Each structure stands twice: as structure tokens, then as C-alpha cells.
């Protein structure tokens, strides 16, 4: 790996003499993330490789594809949004599979640390507003420059989620109630179709003591209703116990919306609520999917099994949204 990366880096980074500190970070079999340093005369350059190894070229159906991810990241970077600079898109002669190399951004992605550690104390109160502005910037990226992406609609999203849930043949009355609510409240096509990040939440945001430093993981990027991103980041599962701060456990909807509108885009709170319910149900269905894969699949791990037991968390959150007690 080190040798191949060194050869690859030398081909586009004049003066680079090799790479050091190569370490695999995370990911499954089809998508890998590696961290390394480019050895450079003026000081080493921190870099991240995101790739599908040779033989894993085909992306899952929902994924935008690694080339599209690279294009989007670079577009965001060029527009002045917090996004890593893309250094190189992998070529066949690199023999590293498909993917890209980007500048490494220092900071934290682990929610519990961001929500509890002292070093983020000054970032927490400003994050929701900051993220509103960032997500508005993402939605404002020019349609003419976007790579080819799937277009999603709320109606299609409900149907896909329902199909996946039904495929489990695992009747869950609370999920049925949520599906019914979603069909009744389907807002239809948005006023404006924009780029949607698709997974804008803890884990995909690099946070420093000064606030947000980078938006990562454009794997689920698509075009559609911009309110989807605002609803998804409010899903209770990403609040990590801070349930009175709907935006990631650190801020209010009002702050998020104010940041968004200050950047010249309009918020539709009813649509945001729709996508929050959708997102809560989606995470619940994903937990059920983990249980199915645990039972039938090659990944017979405890972790997967225990995530299956987290679908009930989304049921209580759906009830809090749709049938609050004391009303």
C-alpha cells in the first residue's frame, strides 16, 4: 500500500518523495478510508484516501459514486464551504482502485466528544447557526456544475422505505403509523430542487474548537428537497442524549433556520418536520435491516445484533413526534 501510494503521489505532487504513516481508518469491504502523510520538502502534508479497492467498482444503488463525491467536495471547497481540498482522483495506472485523495482536516467527528469535551465548549453554542449557513451553501451550489446524481422525491422516498420495511415481514404497528403519517403529510415536489447532501449529521462533520471545519461523506448526495438535510440533522438519534437540543444535541431549530435564512434561503418548517419523521423512521428501518443481516448474513457480529435492538429507540421517538402524551 505504502509503495503504491508513494508512486501515485509522486505522479501529481512534484517534490514529494514518498508517504509515511499509512493507516486504515474505517469502512467496510467495498469502501475504505486510509490516512497518510505525504513527505514533502517544506513539511509533510496530511492526506486521506477514500477508495473502493480494485474489484469493488460497482457502487450500491443509493450511492452517488466516488467520482461524484470528489467532484462535490471540490465544488464545495471552491465555493468557500468547509470541505477538504481534493488532491487527486485515482487513475487506472495508480492501481489503487477507484476513489480520490484529499487533504486531511484536523478535528473531531465523534459526537460524544463534541457534546461533552471542554475544548468544544465555545463551538457548541455557535454550531447550529454555522451549520445552517453551511447547508444553505451546499444547497446553493450551481446545478450546472453538479455531477450526475439521482433525483429523489418525498413520494419515492416513502415508497422505498415502505418496500424495505415490508421486505422484512416483521410487523411493527408504530412503523405502520409513521408510514401512514408520512403518506398523509407528503409535501410533494419542493419549490426548488437543489443538491442535497443526504447524510448531514454527526460523524460526517469535522468539528474544531472554532466550529465546523469540514463536511464529509457525500456518498448519499442527490438532488431533491433541500429541507431533507435540515430534517435529518434534527433526528433524535443524533442528539446523543441531549434531547432538548434538536440540532445534533448542541443547538435549536431556530438557530439552524436563522443561519440558513441569513444565507439567503427560505426554510419551510413543516417540510423540515416531515423529513425529521422520515429520518427517524429511516434509521429505525436501518436498525431492523441490521438485525436481518445479522441473522442471515456473513456479518454475524454482536455489534450488528445489538443495533437491531435499537429500533425501539426510534419507535419512542416516533411516538413523541406523532402521538405526544398529555395532549
Partner 1 sequence: MQDEPTPTELIKAVADFLRHEITPVIKGHNAFKLRVGINALDLVARQLALEPDSDAAEAARLSGLLGMQGSLGELNRALADRIANGEVDLRTPDLADHLWQTTMAKLAVDQPNYASYKRELGGK
In the complex with partner 1, which residue's Cβ is closer, 97 or 308?
A: 308
- Per CB under 8 A, does 290 bind partner 1? no
At its nearest, how many Å lie between partner 1 and the CB of residue 172?
7
Number of residues that bind partner 1 (CB under 8 A): 31
Q: In the range 225-264, which residues lie near partner 1 by CB under 8 A?
A: 236, 239, 241-243
**Residue 325 sits in the site that holds partner 1 (CB under 8 A):** yes
Span from 12-20, 71-79, 153-161, 301-309 in contact with partner 1 (CB under 8 A): 301-309
* Rg of the chain taking only CA atoms, in angstroms: 20
Stretch that binds partner 1, among 209-217, 262-270, 288-296, 316-324 (CB under 8 A): 316-324
Q: Under rule CB under 8 A, which residues in 106-135 are in contact with partner 1? A: none
Under the criterion CB under 8 A, does residue 174 sit at the interface with partner 1?
yes
CA-to-CA distance for 245 and 260, rounded, in angstroms?
Answer: 17
Query: What is the nearest approach in angstroms of partner 1 to the Cβ of residue 42?
Result: 35
Q: Which of residues 175-214 bind partner 1 (CB under 8 A)?
A: 175-177, 179-180
| Strand, coil or helix: 255 | helix
Paired strand residues for 161: none
Which lies closer to partner 1 via its Cβ, residue 239 or residue 253? 239
CA–CA separation, 23 and 179 (whole Å): 43
Cβ distance to partner 1 smaller for residue 197 or 282: 282
Say which residue the cell 423540515 belongs to. Answer: 272
**Residue number with CB closer to partner 1 (98 or 314):** 314
Task: Please give the grid coordinates belonging to residue 84.
Answer: 477538504
* Options 193, 258, 286, 322; binder of partner 1; rule CB under 8 A: 322
Of the residues 92, 171, 188, 298, which one makes contact with partner 1 according to CB under 8 A: 171
Binders of partner 1 among 15-74, rule CB under 8 A? none
DSSP state of 60: P
Are the C-beta atoms of residues 66 and 52 closer than 8 Å to each other?
yes
For partner 1, the closer CB: 20 or 323 = 323
What DSSP letter does each residue of 299-324 carry, written as one string?
---HHHHHHHTTHHHHHHHHHHHHS-
Show the cell assigned to 142: 450551481
Question: Please, what is the minimum distance in Å from the beta carbon of residue 175 to partner 1?
Answer: 8
Position 293 contacts partner 1 (CB under 8 A): no
The beta strand positions in the chain, using DSSP E, are 18-26, 32-39, 45-52, 86-89, 98-103, 194-196, 205-208, 211-215, 222-224
Residue 2 lies near partner 1 (rule: CB under 8 A): no
What's the burial of 163, exposed, middle or buried (CB within 10 Å: 0-12/13-18/19+)?
Answer: exposed
User: Could you tell me the smallest distance in angstroms from the CB atom of residue 239 to partner 1?
Assistant: 8
In terms of CB distance, is 229 or 317 closer to partner 1? 317
CA gap 84, 74 in Å, rounded: 8
Sign of CA dihedral 103, 233, 169, 310: positive
302 is a contact residue toward partner 1 (CB under 8 A): yes
**Cα(189)–Cα(67) distance, integer angstroms:** 28
Interface residues with partner 1 (CB under 8 A) are: 171-177, 179-180, 236, 239, 241-243, 302-303, 305-306, 309-310, 312-313, 315-317, 319-320, 322-323, 325-326
Amino acid at each position: 500500500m505504502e509503495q503504491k501510494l508513494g508512486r501515485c503521489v509522486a505522479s501529481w505532487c512534484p517534490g514529494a518523495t514518498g508517504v509515511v504513516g499509512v493507516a486504515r481508518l474505517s469502512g467496510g469491504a467495498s469502501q475504505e478510508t486510509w490516512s497518510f502523510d505525504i513527505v514533502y520538502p517544506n513539511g509533510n502534508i496530511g492526506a486521506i484516501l477514500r477508495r473502493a479497492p480494485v474489484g469493488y467498482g460497482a457502487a450500491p444503488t443509493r450511492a452517488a459514486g466516488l467520482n461524484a463525491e470528489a467532484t462535490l467536495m471540490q465544488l464545495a471547497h471552491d465555493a468557500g464551504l468547509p470541505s477538504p481540498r481534493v488532491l487527486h482522483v485515482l487513475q487506472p495506472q495508480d492501481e489503487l482502485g477507484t476513489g480520490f485523495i484529499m487533504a486531511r482536516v484536523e478535528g473531531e467527528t465523534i459526537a460524544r466528544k463534541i457534546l461533552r469535551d471542554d475544548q468544544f465548549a465555545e463551538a457548541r453554542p455557535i454550531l447550529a447557526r454555522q451549520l445552517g449557513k453551511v447547508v444553505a451553501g451546499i444547497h446553493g451550489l450551481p446545478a450546472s456544475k453538479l455531477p450526475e446524481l439521482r433525483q429523489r422525491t418525498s413520494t419515492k422516498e416513502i415508497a422505498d422505505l415502505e418496500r424495505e420495511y415490508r421486505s422484512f415481514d416483521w410487523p411493527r404497528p408504530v412503523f405502520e403509523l409513521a408510514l401512514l403519517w408520512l403518506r398523509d403529510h407528503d409535501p410533494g415536489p419542493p419549490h426548488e430542487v437543489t443538491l442535497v447532501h443526504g447524510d448531514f449529521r454527526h460523524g460526517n462533520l469535522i468539528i474544531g474548537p472554532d466550529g465546523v471545519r469540514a463536511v464529509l461523506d457525500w456518498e448519499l448526495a442527490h438532488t431533491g428537497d433541500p429541507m431533507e438535510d435540515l430534517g435529518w440533522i434534527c433526528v433524535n438519534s443524533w442528539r446523543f442524549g441531549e434531547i432538548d437540543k434538536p440540532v445534533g444535541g448542541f443547538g435549536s431549530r431556530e438557530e439552524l433556520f436563522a443561519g440558513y435564512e441569513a444565507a439567503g434561503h427560505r426554510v419551510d418548517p413543516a417540510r423540515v418536520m416531515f423529513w425529521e419523521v422520515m429520518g427517524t423512521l429511516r434509521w429505525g428501518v436501518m436498525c431492523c435491516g441490521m438485525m436481518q443481516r445479522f441473522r442471515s448474513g456473513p456479518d454475524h457480529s454482536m455489534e450488528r445484533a445489538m443495533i437491531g435492538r435499537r429500533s425501539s429507540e426510534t419507535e419512542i421517538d416516533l411516538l413523541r413526534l406523532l402521538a405526544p402524551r398529555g395532549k
